[in-house]
Every structure is written in structure tokens, then in C-alpha cells.
Amino acid sequence: MSAADGLSPASRNLLALLADGGFHSGEAIAASTGSSRAGIWKRIEELRALGVEVHAVPGTGYRLARPLELLDRDAIASALTGAAAESFGGLEIHFQLDSTNSHLMRRAAHGAPTGTVCLAERQTAGKGRIGRDWVSPLSGNVYLSLLWRFGRAGFSGLSLAVGVAVVRALRAQGIADPALKWPNDILWSRRKLGGILIEVTGEANGQYAVVIGIGLNVNLPDRHGENIDQDWIDLARIPGGAGVSRNRLVAGMLNALAPMLADYESTGLAPYLDEWRRYHGFDGAMATVQQGDWARTGRIVGVSAEGLLILECEDGKVRQFASGDVRVRPL
């Protein structure tokens, strides 16, 4: 993490010290960090300004409202196996970025290699689909983007295959019944657990630089969740999810994504489509597909071989959609 990442080195050191969630006296912090009491208080206020809940108890010390697991490059890299260890050599961890996707799009324009992975503890302008903001508080969630290049426009349906990889990783961490909603939502009990954002740019050599962004709610404070415009959930609220390690989860997703990406130009969506359909719980549901100012309402029939949403519309016609904001009616 560089000094330009939005938090001073002294404050980052203090955050790492407090991350265990236990009380630390002012004297112990001063001895560990070499800071004066005034310096410690300044660092505490800097953390609070970024939304970190720090409790101060006279005579006892300071502690975080909840323990934090900071992202650890070595822990992630050591858990990569097979294709992931070979494919994802460039692993960047930042304390703060505007957006991990935006950062990698810029890096791609300057020749960053395929397989570059970017993670951030915090985003100041996290990106969702259709221009939405992605709520991105400090150290509570996973904000991951990776760069992959394709030699041709052979990545139709990629967001669905990525969704399958994410569900596999969640299941491997003991999360039962994660689900998917077309085209890019990761759900649990019909509440949003995460999402996928894919951005593409053409390059002079005829290749396509594809940035795959994945956001997952791990431990999202209620005060930040108030800014989300739909029902949401985080892993901490799911049975078995409170103890999931962010570093192990990131490594698990990369392990699931690597073989899929390596073969996707030749295989396409086909090897993942049946599995995606098993995780999709909305066939037969009534839904509205919004595209700008235009909307269609009907019954979800399923997903085509190309990953298009099939909707039997209220006028009786069956239509396919390559994009759109899908709002499913409550059961």
C-alpha cells in the first residue's frame, strides 16, 4: 500500500494494531507506534473520518467496534493454486482507490499485463451497473477487479460464468445456497450479497481488454447499508458466514476464475450455463426489464445459450435481452 492511498502510514499502522478488536492502552499504542498521546488522538480521528468506529474508554484504552481482517498479499498469494498461481502474478492491494475497475482500466491503457488483480480496502467512487454507486466502506467488504485480454469479441455471457465462479467460491467457504440473478447479481435468500461489473475496451492490436469487477458484502455496517436501494445482506448475517476470511475468499474466487478465463475464448458460456441455471431462482417469476426510459414486463422464461434473458412479455411476445435492469416482483 502506498502513502498516496488516502491514509497516512502512521494511521495505517494504528489500524493494523487495533484490527484484533481488543482494547489497547494509550501507553501500549505509544510504545508500539512511537507516537505521542496527541499523535495517537490525531490518528484516531483520521480513522473515524473514514468511517472506522473506534471506541475510547478512559483508563482502558482504544478498540475497534469489531475486528477487521486487513487484506494481505502474502496470505492471498500463498492460497492460490494451479492456474490461478500461474495466471495472477500481479496482485495489487491498495488502501484506497476511486474504483478498482477504473484503476485497472487506466492500468490496461498503459499496458498492464493480463492477469493483473487489484483489491482495495476502500473505494471513494465504487461502480455498480447502469451508473450506480457501489457502497464501499473501509475493510468491511471485498472490492476486487482483474484484467483479462481476449483476442476477439469472444466473451459473450462472461458475467454469467463469473457468477458461477463466485458461487463456487462461496460454497467452498461453507456458505449454503448462494444464488444468482441475471445478469450480474449475487444473492442469498433473494437479498443482494454482491455484484459483478464487466467493462471492456478495444486495443490497437485488435485485442479486447476486459476488466472484471466483483463486489461482495462481508461485514457491512447498517449505516452504510442505508444507502443501498434494494434488500441486501452480508456474510456476517448469513449462517456460517461470520467467520469467513476475506483473504481466503479472495483466493478462492481467483482459484475458481482462473481456469474458466483461460478457456473461455474456446468454450464460451456453454460449460457453465446449466450450473448457472441451477443457481438462478427466478424462472417463472414476473419481472420488469428496464432499459433507459423503456421497460417491458413479463414472465421470466429463462436464459438462452448466449446468456440472454428470455421474457414472455405481457403482449404475448417472447423477447430476449442482452442487458437491462431486472426488477422481480415479490412472491
User: Annotated binding site, which residues?
Assistant: 99-101, 123, 192
Q: How many CB atoms lie within 10 A of CB 192?
A: 19
Q: Which of 43, 168, 192, 246 is catalytic?
A: 192
Q: Which of 63, 122, 129, 168 is catalytic?
A: 129
Round to whole Å and give the CA distance between 10 and 239: 36
- Reduced to 3 states (helix: H, G, I; strand: E, B; else coil), residue 166 is helix
Nearest to 137 by CA among 75, 66, 211, 198: 66
Round to whole Å and give the CA distance between 6 and 14: 14
Q: Which residues are annotated as a binding site for biotin?
A: 99-101, 123, 192
Is residue 192 annotated as part of the catalytic site, yes or no?
Answer: yes
Q: How many CB atoms lie within 10 A of CB 290?
A: 15
Supply 255's cell numbers: 482459484
Q: How many CB atoms lie within 10 A of CB 199?
A: 17
Helical (H) or strand (E) element with 297: strand 294-303
Query: Quick one: three-class SS letters along 38-72?
Result: HHHHHHHHHHHHCCCCEEEECCCEEEECCCCCCCC
Residues acting as catalytic residues: 129, 192, 329
